[in-house]
Amino acid sequence: MKDKYTVGSLYAGVGGICLGFQNAGFKLEWANEFDKNACITYKNNFEHNLIEGDVMSLDVSALKKIDILTAGFPCQPFSVAGYRKGFEDSRGNHFFKILDFIDEMKPKVVFLENVKNLKGHDNGNTMKVIENEIKKRNYTFDSSVLNTKDFGNIPHNRERIFMIAFDKDFIKDDKFEFHFPDKENLTKSITDLITAEKVDDKFYYHEDKYMYNMLQESVVSKERIYQFRRQYVRENKSSVCPTLTANMGTGGHNVPIITTDYGFRKLTPRECFRFQGFPDNFKLPAISNSHLYKQAGNSVSMPVIQRLASEIFKVIEKVESKGKKKSKEKA
C-alpha cells in the first residue's frame, strides 16, 4: 500500500520537493512557505495543509508528526552569490530551526537540499557543523552533489547538494549507507521543452530593442540557450539550459534567450518550469511573470527529487518488511 509514509515540508516554495515525494508514493501531511506568491502557486496545485508564514514563528509541537522531514533551506548564507557568511548570517539560523523539528518529531528520514557551494563553504566547516549536529541526534548522514542533466533527464545544468539522514533506531543497521541513484543518459533536448508555436509577443525581442543586433549576430542555433550579459551574449555550448536563477525575470545578465521561427525571445515561465521538470498540468496562477520566473529559479528539479524519494521509499519498505519478518519469527 503506497502513500502510508507521511511528509512534512519546510521552505516548500511552489512544491518541487513535495511533488517529487508525492510522485514517489508518499503522503503530504503539511508544508510551510513564507513567500506569499509562492503560496498562491502551491495552493493551486496541492490540497493538504499549507502553513503560510515565517518558519521561525512556527510552534513545532503543534504540528502533526511525520515520517519524513524535508527542507530546501535558504541558500543565501551558503551561496557564492550571497555574502558567504554561513552561520554568522542570521538566515543561517534556519538550520538550527530545522534541528528543533528533528528533536520534536524524530522523523524516520531527514531530507535536506542546498546549493552546491555549501560543500566547500568556510573550508568545509559549515558542512561539518550540519553533519555533526544531525549525527549527534542518532542519524546516519550521506550527501551527494547531483546535476539535473545527469539525474533528472532534463537538459538543465543545475548542481545541488542533497543530504539524507535516517534515524538509526529505525534503520537498526550500523553499516547502513544510503545509495544515491545512478547517472542516467540524457534523452531529452532543449527543443523538446520549448513551445513550438508562437508565444505572447511580450516575450520577443524586436528590432526596437537596443541589443537586437547583438542577438542577431550571436543567437544562431535553435538547439541552444543563450544568456544576455548586458554587454555581450553568452552561448551555452553544451546544448543544455544554463542554471535558472531567481532574478532571471528582472532582466540584466540572467535572461535565458532562444531563437525560434518567430524570432528571438526569452523563455516563458512555463518553459522555465519545464526545465525544472514540472509537468504541464502543474498550474501556474495569474500572477506576474516576474514572480513566476523567481519561483522557477528558486525551485528544485522535481525529477531528481522523485528519484531520490523513490530510493528512500525502498529503504523504508525494506526496513519495515524486515521488522515484520522478525516479529513473525518471535511469534
Query: Is 115 a residue whose pLDDT tops 50?
Result: yes
E strand residue ranges, the chain: 6-10, 27-33, 49-52, 68-71, 109-115, 142-147, 159-166, 226-228, 233-235, 255-260, 263-266
Backbone angles phi, psi at 82, to 5 degrees: -90, -155
Note the pLDDT of residue 309. Answer: 98
More confident position, 211 or 172: 172
**The pTM is what?**
0.91
Rounded to an integer, the average pLDDT of 317-321 is 89
pLDDT in tens, 199-236: 999 999 898 888 888 888 889 888 899 887 767 778 77
Note the pLDDT of residue 327. Answer: 60
More confident position, 135 or 127: 135
Cell output for 177: 549507507
272 belongs to the catalytic site: no
Q: Which fold has domain 6-186+300-330?
A: Rossmann fold (3.40.50)
Query: Is 330 a residue whose pLDDT tops 70?
Result: no
Q: Cell 534541528 identifies what position?
A: 99
| Calpha distance 86→160 (Å, rounded) | 17
pLDDT in tens, 89-109: 655 578 888 999 999 999 999
Backbone angles phi, psi at 266, to 5 degrees: -85, 160
Q: Does residue 111 sit in helix, strand or coil? A: strand
More confident position, 125 or 169: 169
Query: Is 165 a residue whose pLDDT tops 60?
Result: yes
pLDDT in tens, 62-89: 999 999 999 998 754 555 444 456 566 6
Beta strands 159-166 and 142-147 are antiparallel
Q: Which of 18, 39, 75, 272 is catalytic?
A: 75
Q: Does domain 190-297 have CATH number 3.90.120?
A: yes
Backbone angles phi, psi at 85, to 5 degrees: -95, -10
- Are 178 and 164 in contact, with CB atoms under 8 Å apart? yes
Structural domain boundaries in the chain: 6-186+300-330, 190-297
| Number of other CB atoms surrounding residue 122 within 10 Å | 16
